[in-house]
Amino acid sequence: MGRKTLVLAEARENQLRQVSYEAIAAGKKVADGGEVIAVLLGDNVSSLAPVLGHYGADRVLTVEDENLKNYTPDGYKQALKQVIDGETPEAIIMGHTAIGKDLSAVLAGKLNSALVSDVTEIDAEGDLTFTRPIYAGKAFEKKRFKEGLVFVTIRPNNIEALEKDESKDVSVSPFDVAIRDLRTIVKDIVKKTSSGGDLSEAKIIISGGRGVKSKDGFEPLQELADVLGGAVGASRGACDADYCDYSLQIGQTGKVVTPDLYIACGISGAIQHLAGMSNSKVIVAVNKDPEANIFNVADYGIVGDLFEVVPLLTKYFKEALQEA
Amino acid sequence: MNIYVIMKRTFDTEEKIAIENGEISDDGVNFIINPYDEYAIEEAIKLRDDNDGEVTVVTVGEEEAEKELRTALAMGCDKAVLINNEDVEDYDQFSTTVILAKYFEDKEYDIILGGNVTMDNGTGQIGPRLAEKLGIAHVSTIVDLKLKGEKLTVERDAEGDAEVIEVSLPVIVTAQQGLNEPRYPSLPGIMKAKKKPLEVLELDDLDLDEDDAEGLTESVEVFLPPEKAAGKVLEGDMEDQVQELVKLLRTEAKVI
C-alpha cells in the first residue's frame, strides 16, 4: 500500500532549489509506490514546474497568487492547506529551509500532526524510519511517526536527488486558492547572501576563523570560494570579533552544514564549531598551529599561514579547473 | 505589557555526548539556558523596561529546570513557571505545544518570545506550532525588534537575507543569533531572584491528562556519528603541499 505524498517545491530568484529535487527523492521513498505530487507556490512560477516531473514527481500542481510572492506563514499556510484538503495526502515533504521549517511546523500545529524535522536519511525498508541529527550533529536519532498525516523536512545536501529524465511527459495543473487576511506583512527584503548562495545548500564552503584577523582577511577566502563556486562561512570567533556577519556563523549556535568539501582556514576547532561542520563529506584544515583541534576531524591538513596557503589554493585550483 | 518567554534548559554547548543504555546520558552534564532562549529573555527584559509590564518565563520540563528559571529571574524576568512534563509518553514537540497551549489558554499576553531552535532536538517547531494553536501570528528567526503602540516591526533572518516584517500584537516571535547581547545576571539580580515567584505546575493543574500530550512520534534509536579516521597532514614545500592537496581533492576525494 503506497502513501500519497505531497512535496513542497521552492524557487529562489526564479530558480528551483536543489533541495526541492532532493525532497522529491525523499517523497518517493516515503510514498512507497504511492503518488508523489510536487506543489509549487509563488506568484509566477508555472514555467519552472515541468522540471519537478523530470526529477521524479508524478504530477505537479502550481499555485499562483500575488500573495505568495514572498513567504508569509499565513499566505503559504492557507494555500497549502487548501491543496491538502483537495488532495488528502498521507505525507508531506519539504526542505528544512527558512520556508520549510516554518511552514511545516505551522501546518503540523494546525492539523495536530506529527512532524519529523531536519531529516538526513530515510529508511523505507520495513517500518518507515527517519534519521536526524541531535545536539547539532554530535549525535543522531532514528524516529518513527505513529499514525495519521506526517510532515517531514529534509536537510539540504543529504538525500540524493533522482536522475533527471527530460524525456518524461509531465502533468502540470494549476490549483486555485483563496488567500486572505495576512497578519504579517513583508515590507522589504534586503539581500545579504553573498555569491555562492545559502550556506546550508552550498556544496563547497570556505570558512574562516579568528586566524582571518580582520574583515579584509575574508577576501582571499571569498576569492577561493568564487573559483570553486562555493560559499564563505565563519566560526563564532570570527563573528564575535566582528570580522563578518552572524549569518555566516557555522557551529552549534549558527548553521549546521554538510557540504561535500569544507575548507577551514584559521579555525582552531572548538567543539561548538565541530558540531556544526564535522559531518561534512571532506574536510580540509589550514592552520598555523599543528596542534589545533581542527586537524583531528580533517581529512587533509596543511600546517601553514592561511594568507599564504589560500591564495595558492586559488591559483592552483584555477589552473586545474581551466585544464579540465 | 504582558510579556512571556518560553525557555528550555539544554546541555552546555561544551558538552560531549555519551550514550548509556540506549539513551543520551546526562550524567555529570552541565546545563544552561538554551542559547537562543537567552536572546529571547534579553529582548523581553528590554521590552518591559521600555514599555512597562512584566516578564514571565515559562518552561516545560523536569524539576531541575528550576535552576535555569532562577537564572532567568536573575537576568531580570519577574516571574517564572515550571510545568512538569514527567510521565508523558513519547514526549515530542506536539506534547510541548499541547501543554503550552493549555497553559496560555486563560492568560493575557501581548507578546510571547522564544528561541528559534534548541541546542538539543533542534527542530524549531515550538514557536510556529504554538502560534497556530493559540490562533495568533508569529515571525521566526528575528534579529531585530521595534515596538510602536500595537505595531511590531521585526527583521527576520531568512537564510542570510533580511526580511522587514510588520505585525500587530499579540504575536509570537522566535529569536535568532544577532538579536542582542544577553546580559549576565548581576549579583543583586541573583539575590533578588531568590525571592521572585516561581510556580510549579503539574499537568493536573492545567486539566491535562498525560495521554493528551502523548507524542505523535517516537524515538527508536540514538547513536553517535562514526569516528573519523586520522587525516593526512601534508608536508614539504608550501607550493608542493598546495598542489598535492588540489590533486588529492580532485582524484582521491573527488569533490572538485
Residue A59 and residue A168 share a domain: yes
Interface residue of A19, A115, A273 to substitute, partner B, most B CBs within 10 Å: A115
- By Cβ distance, the residue of A133, A140, A316 closest to B243 is A316
* Chain A contact set for B160 (CB, 8 A): 192-193, 198-199, 247-248
- Residue partners of B34: CB distance under 8 A and separation at least 6: B7, B8, B9, B10, B115, B118, B119, B120
Q: Does the structure show a pLDDT above 80 at A198? A: no
Q: Is residue A183 part of a domain?
A: no
Query: Which residue is associated with the grid cell 491535562?
Result: B208
Asked if residue A158 and residue A94 are part of one domain, the reply reads: yes
Cβ of A299 under 8 Å from any chain B Cβ?
A: yes
**Residue B141 has what pLDDT?**
97
Domains and CATH numbers, chain B: 2-213 (3.40.50.620), 226-256 (no CATH)
pLDDT in tens, A50-97: 999 999 999 999 999 999 999 999 999 999 999 999 999 999 999 999
Contacting B residues, span 184-243, partner chain A, CB-CB under 8 Å: 215-225, 228, 231-234, 238-239, 241-243
**Do A205 and A158 lie in a common domain?**
no
Q: Does A317 lie in the same domain as A216?
A: yes
Give me the residue label for grid cell 505595531.
Answer: B151
Question: Best of B31, B98, B118, B132 to disrupt the A interface by mutation (most A CBs within 10 Å)?
Answer: B132
Boundary-marking domain end, from A174, A189, A222? A174
Domain match, A150 and A213 both? no
Q: Could you give the dihedral angle defined by the CA atoms of residues B55, B61, B64 and B65, in that order, rounded to the nearest 10 degrees?
A: -20
Q: Is position A222 annotated in a ligand binding site? A: no
Q: What is the dihedral of CA A235, A240, A242, A243, to 10 degrees?
A: -20
DSSP letter string over B116-131? SS-SSS----HHHHHH
Tell me how many degrees the CA angle B158-B164-B168 measures, rounded to the nearest 5: 115
Q: Does A303 share its domain with A163? A: no
Distance CA(A311)–CA(A308), nearest Å, equals: 6
Q: Indicate if A118 and A168 belong to the same structural domain.
A: yes
Residue ending a domain, choose from A125, A140, A174: A174
A127 shares a domain with A206:
no
Q: Is the pLDDT of residue A194 over 60?
A: no
Q: Is residue A182 in some structural domain?
A: no
Per-residue pLDDT of chain B (256 residues; tens, 9 = 90+): 999 999 999 999 999 999 999 999 999 999 999 999 999 999 999 999 999 999 999 999 999 999 999 999 999 999 999 999 988 999 999 999 999 999 999 999 999 999 999 999 999 999 999 999 999 999 999 999 999 999 999 999 998 789 999 999 999 999 999 999 999 999 999 999 999 999 999 999 999 999 999 999 999 999 999 888 889 999 999 999 999 999 999 999 999 8
Q: Give the per-residue pLDDT at A191.
A: 83
Question: For residue A164, which of A19, A57, A62, A260 has the smallest C-alpha distance?
Answer: A57
Q: Is the Cβ pair B158, A98 closer than 8 Å?
A: yes
Burial B124-148 (b: 16+ CB within 10 A, else e): bbbbbbbbbbbebbbbbbbbbbebe
The count of domains in chain A is: 2
Q: Does B246 touch chain A (CB under 8 A)?
A: yes
User: DSSP class of residue B172?
Assistant: E
Give the pLDDT confidence score for residue A201 in this predicted structure: 87
At A197 the pLDDT is 63
- Residue B30: predicted pLDDT: 97
List the one residue out of B196, B155, B149, B173 whose CA is nearest residue B51: B149
Query: Which percentage of chain A shows pLDDT scores above 70?
Result: 98
A272 annotated as belonging to a binding site for a ligand: yes
Share above pLDDT 90 across residues of chain A, in percent, rounded to a whole number: 90
Residue A140 lies in a domain: yes
A304 is in an annotated binding site: no
Give the closest of B129, B132, B160 to A192, CB-based: B160
The beta-carbon neighbor of B216 closest among A129, A146, A313 is: A146
Q: Are residues A153 and A230 in the same domain?
A: no
pLDDT, tens digit (0-9, with 9 covering 90-100), for A36-55: 999 999 999 999 999 999 99
Taking the Cβ of residue B139 and every Cβ of chain A, the question of whether any pair is shorter than 8 Å is answered with yes
pTM of the shown model: 0.94
User: Which range marks the domain in which residue A269 is found?
Assistant: 199-323
Q: Confirm or reject contact between B144 and chain A (CB < 8 A).
A: no
| A103 and A206 co-located in one domain | no
User: How many Å lie between the alpha carbon of B22 and the closest alpha carbon of chain A?
Assistant: 10
pLDDT of residue A200: 86
With bands split at pLDDT 50, 70 and 90, how would you rate the model's confidence at A324?
A: confident
Query: Could you give the CA distance from residue B241 to residue A303 in angstroms, rounded to a whole number?
Result: 10
Residues in chain B with CB shorter than 8 Å from the CB of A184 are 137-139, 165-167
Give the closest-approach CA distance of A138 to chain B in angstroms.
6
